[in-house]
Structure 1
């Protein structure tokens, strides 16, 4: 009867030892949940490494996960998993790839059209090299005017749009001039196109050409 008893003792002893060792797969799952939460606030994807299954650590009831370096949370970096109870810590490599997003036209547009919310959408760029000059926010595209036409599916680049013109060449405009203690309002004709906040030259009724800044109400303001 000694042999069965010895076998049973060894089996029970092995079970206890196994239970006392940390499950590496459980730590990886914990790290994965940490990363899911981290990238949920970012336009990024990640790929976790794997822990060495040959590593033997005491089981931890409440392991903690954090960045090994909080100043480096992108690219090739790592997490640190710590067991406050047992005092051990291990690193887990992770690669974080920031997504490159760009604005795409959802329909064909013509030159001079002012973009509306339904005309554009934000799309992930598979090739980061394509990101140059591509507008990366829908808010920066809506309300802009097209310099030239473009088909649906085109990436919307900075040079393809401009702020809508508040003043156009040949258009009658009011010109305001003000200074210390005086204010004058006159009329003239714009010599070019300009958006709010841009400078434009105006020919006054007297024939004099002046240059001023276009205001939100369409007037051209001169400063002295």
Structure 2
């Protein structure tokens, strides 16, 4: 609901009043400026103002601001203010849609499915109402395990997936190390779980030294230099 304004010119002529379109456009532009990023399409629509509302024409540029913290970005309240001597402040609801490419289930995905590139696709969707997040790149999903059934066409969220560990704590691993042009392989033991690309701690079975290594394959890690 539109809140109070400090001055209402009930008898003013159209030439003396601020046009409703200019107020709505200012509120919409405020939202567009905040969410203008490469790779996403932003649409903002301000609510129509009460036709009975008459505000004095502002002889300065309208100022816009965000009066509240945003929890639901699909519906945002924007403050529009005239800072002239006979100024006013109005709060305008703006509906936002945020279209961007996200990861979608290409088929129904049963629980415990290990995702492959064939299981997912990229589509443009409105993410403004997605409070649980979303994935933007296939690499964020491939190789992970589905926790619960996901229907075909659903947007994948981080909370729906578990990491598949290529190395598990306590298991034997092969440690690959490069010394100059020489590549050395040693036996070791994983001290933490790790997915491919993650750094973990391992123990060299020969020296009993703990080192950091990057998981490069199932049961194989590369010593961090």
Q: Name the TM-score, length of structure 2 as normaliser.
A: 0.53
Counterpart in the other structure of 1:221? 223
Question: What is the distance in 1 between the residues matched to 2:104 and 2:24?
Answer: 35
Instruction: Report matched runs for 1:100-179 at 5 Å.
Output: 103-108=102-107, 111-115=113-117, 119-121=121-123, 123-124=125-126, 131-132=131-132, 135-139=133-137, 142=140, 144-148=142-146, 150-159=150-159, 160-162=161-163, 165=166, 173-176=174-177
Measure how far apart 1:31 and its partner are: 1.7
RMSD over aligned CA atoms reads: 4.9
Superposed CA offset, 1:155-198 (max 9, x none): 32324143784x589886234499xxxxx954227769732224
Structure 1 distance, partners of 2:53, 2:175, is: 81
Q: Which residue of 2 aligns with 1:4?
A: none
Shift of residue 29, structure 1, vs aligned partner: 0.7
Residues 150 and 216 (structure 1), Cα distance of their counterparts in 2 relative to 1, 3 Å cut:
same
How many Å separate the matches in 2 of 1:45 and 1:20?
Answer: 27
Deviation for aligned residue 1:138: 0.1
Q: How does 1:76-115 map to 2 (within 5 A)?
A: 76-82=77-83, 87-96=85-94, 103-108=102-107, 111-115=113-117
Residue segments in structure 2 that go unaligned for 5+ positions in a row: 1-11, 36-41, 71-75
Distance 2:91 2:28 in 1: 15
Determine the C-alpha separation between the residues in 2 that align with 1:155 and 1:139.
Answer: 12
Aligned pairs (5 A) from 1:11-26: 18=13, 21-22=16-17, 24=18
Using structure 1 for the length normalisation, give the TM-score. 0.53
Cα deviation digits, residues 114-136 of structure 1 (max 9, x gap): 448x72345336866xx33xx43
Structure 1, unaligned stretches of length 5 or more?
Answer: 1-16, 179-183
CA contact (8 A) 1:51 1:92 kept: no
Q: Is residue 2:191 matched to residue 1:199?
A: no
> How has the CA–CA distance of structure 1 residues 47 and 37 changed in structure 2, closer, same or farther, with 3 Å as cutoff?
closer
Q: Name the SS of the counterpart of 2:62 in structure 1.
A: strand
- DSSP 3-state at the match of 1:38: helix
Structure 2 contact 62–80 (Cα < 8 Å) conserved: yes
